[in-house]
Amino acid sequence: MGTINRFSVIRHSDISNINGQTPNLDLSGSVSPIPSVSTSGGLFGQVVATITKAGGGEYTNPNYSAECTLADGTVTVTDANIDRVLESDGSHLAGTLEISDTNASTAQRTVTITAQEFGDLTRSETGSATYTPTSIQAKYIRFTGVLVDGSATNKRLAIEDIRFFTGGGQSGTEYPTTDLTADNSETGITVSAGHVYNSTYEAWKAFDSSSGTWWWPLQTTAANNWIQIEFEDGTYGTKPIIKSIQVDFQNSWADTYYFKITTSANADHSSATDHGVFLANVSTVTNFG
Amino acid sequence: MGIDKINNQDFPQSTTAPATTTPSVSLAGGAFGVVTATITKSGGGTYTNPNYSAQCALADGTVTVTDANIDRNLESDASHLAGTLNFTDTNASTAERTITVKAQEFVDRKQSAGATATYTPSYIQKKYIRIRGVDEDGNDSSQRSSISNIRFYTGTGQSGTEYPTTNLTSATSETGIVVSAGHEYSSTYPIHHAVNGAGNMWWALGTTAANNWWQIEFEDATYSTKPIIKSMTVTMPWNTTSSAYFKITGSDNADHSSATDFGVYATNIISGTTTAINIG
């Protein structure tokens, strides 16, 4: 036997009486307003969901429950794996959820969110938005040191290792396929940087799989604070599709841990595509996608 | 008589709305009014996806810290709110306060009853006030400290008399005040640069864990009664090898024995900013 959720399109919690008879409900409390949801990002399944209060205004002290699913109902990200964010003053939950969707499916997902204001007796109805994980396929993939807002900075990066993978979750073919011993030691791959401090910290040191060596652009300008990998046309007529990456920052000598990923088909990085700003963990290897 | 069914379909029943389990609250800190409240679920277990509402008040009902000024924290995996609240109570009263915390599990229909705990802000009145680089647990750290500005105030919220009262030109340039440190990297980064008002700094590069400290002394001849310090500000330039936390201690002894611990605070390396840290 089912339970009536709506009667004549009206939610049960909003029904005060039917033909003069009162439902056996505690109607003393309010229902939280429905959230509006929008999504941004999508590279490697990294998505930000932004929640606003439908109809305007703001939640005062909200809590959220969220879940991501494929069209067939398969859950790709559970509520417990969706990150909350605090308001800038730390006072309450902000209207932002951060999602890392590593499910192998390339199909569109729906993130479904319900809200509950502290003290409201009933959570909101669901708000939803869709997203589709994207990947990178380009001749040049560049990491540029930036500030949290994505703006250029001369705060130096310091990277021990970067790896690119054709599968989600650091699976599939790994690029470079070897541990580099020079910027062009692997056929078909050239790594380069806008600036290197000296020969101890050359670009290939970020692709040699050694945690004891790193690329370091000490004294860089903001414009030159980058490192990149090139998939040369002669070997890679079709560029590999990159679905995840792994980054190991040097934990003592970087001044910024934010980096922007851009891609281009051109040697001067013109007409580049901006794939977003990422934050590496200070002390451990960080996986994206 | 109310409606239970329509055409033999159940109409939702909730004549007695379920309430969230009442939390238990414990408090730590209190120096400069800086307090951490730890929330647990009464009777054991943990909340799954909780939200909290909290408020601090004096016995007469005067609210000293509103809910909007009490900071939440996220669990280490950022999945939900953690069971800790942080707040700074700068109300001038020296009386005991009560914090009241209510919890509400997501989907639970009612917030919990209020749980309470009490605290009383405490202040520093010591001959020696020492700032030491430590780890998150308060253990001495050799991760170097640096200070480009530090001031102590007799009023809350960085008000009242400010110490030192001058911008020092040496460790002893102000009568009655002596600043010292366990270590200084070089004469380019001397101890008094932490209080010279010029923005350059004292730097403990190369320090041992034991010597990773800076302190101010209020000399007896000038300060037979030591000033009561109710707030302070400190700016600590950092890079990734700086200490992430600092501890404030106070002592009346030159060797800093019998020191009182006034708490562990995060440096800006945690937030990634370079702004002043105001306490109290």
Pick the most confident of A70-79, A100-109, A255-264, B261-270: A70-79
Phi-psi label, residue A34: left if phi above 0, alpha if psi -120 to 50, beta otherwise: beta
DSSP notation for B56-99: EEETTS-EEE-GGGSEEEE-TTSSSEEEEEEEE---S--S-EEE
Helix or strand (DSSP H, E) at B31 = none
- pLDDT tier at A172 (50, 70, 90 boundaries)? very high
Spell out where A71-167 has E strands: 75-77, 83-86, 93-100, 109-117, 127-131, 140-146, 159-167
Q: Give A87's DSSP letter.
A: -
What distance in Å separates the CA atoms of residue A55 and residue A124, rounded to the nearest whole number? 13
Is residue B271 less than 8 Å (CB to CB) from chain A?
no
Please report the residues numbered 138 through 197 in chain B whose beta carbons come closer than 8 angstroms to any beta carbon of chain A. Answer: none
Residue A25 has pLDDT above 80, yes or no: no
Question: Domain locations in chain A?
Answer: 29-131, 140-288
Q: Can you give the pLDDT at residue A211?
A: 82
Q: Can you give the pLDDT at residue B8?
A: 66
ipTM of the complex: 0.71
For A157-173, letters b (16+ CB in 10 Å) and e give bbbbbbbbbebbebebe
- pLDDT tier at A184 (50, 70, 90 boundaries)? very high
By three-state DSSP, how is residue A80 classified? helix
> Cβ(B57)–Cβ(B64) under 8 Å?
yes
On the CB side of A16, CA atoms within 13 Å amount to 3
* Inter-chain touch A23–B12, beta carbons under 8 Å: yes
What distance in Å separates the CA atoms of residue A37 and residue A60, rounded to the nearest whole number? 17
- pLDDT tier at A272 (50, 70, 90 boundaries)? very high
Helix or strand (DSSP H, E) at A52 = strand A46-53
Residue that wins the pLDDT comparison between A276 and B130: B130
Please report the residues numbered 180 through 239 in chain A whose beta carbons come closer than 8 angstroms to any beta carbon of chain B. Answer: none
Which tokens in the block code for residue B274? 């370079």
Residue that wins the pLDDT comparison between A18 and A241: A241
Q: Can you give the pLDDT at residue A7?
A: 57
Class of domain B23-119: mainly beta
Residues 6+ apart with CB under 8 A from A71: A107, A108, A110
Vertex B36: Cα angle to B33 and B40 (nearest 5):
145
Phi-psi label, residue B24: left if phi above 0, alpha if psi -120 to 50, beta otherwise: beta
Shortest CA gap A232–chain B (Å): 36
Q: Can you give the pLDDT at residue B18?
A: 79
Which tokens in the block code for residue A206? 């970020």
Residue A60 has pLDDT above 80, yes or no: yes
* Inter-chain touch A123–B13, beta carbons under 8 Å: no
- pLDDT tier at A169 (50, 70, 90 boundaries)? confident
Q: Can you give the pLDDT at residue A267?
A: 96
Q: Can you give the pLDDT at residue A4?
A: 55
- Nearest Cα neighbor of A284 from A202, A211, A208, A226 is A211
Q: Can you give the pLDDT at residue B1?
A: 47
Please report the residues numbered 65 through 94 in chain B whose beta carbons come closer than 8 angstroms to any beta carbon of chain A. Answer: 67-74, 77-81, 86
- Given a cut of 70, the residues of chain B with pLDDT beneath it are 1-17, 240, 270-273
Architecture of the domain delimited by A29-131: Sandwich (2.60)
Q: Can you give the pLDDT at residue A55?
A: 86
Q: Can you give the pLDDT at residue B242?
A: 82
pTM: 0.74
User: Phi, psi (5° rounding) for residue A220?
Assistant: -70, 160
What distance in Å separates the CA atoms of residue A233 and residue B74, rounded to the nearest whole number? 47
Interface test with B, best of A1, A8, A22, A26 (most B CBs within 10 A): A26
Q: Can you give the pLDDT at residue A153?
A: 93
Shortest CA gap A26–chain B (Å): 5
Question: What is the dihedral angle through the alpha carbons of A246, A251, A257, A260, rounded to the nearest 10 degrees?
Answer: -40
Provide CATH 2.60.40.10 ranges for chain B: 23-119
Chain B residue numbers with beta carbons less than 8 Å from the beta carbon of A3 are 9-12
Residue A247 has pLDDT above 50, yes or no: yes
Is residue B274 less than 8 Å (CB to CB) from chain A?
no
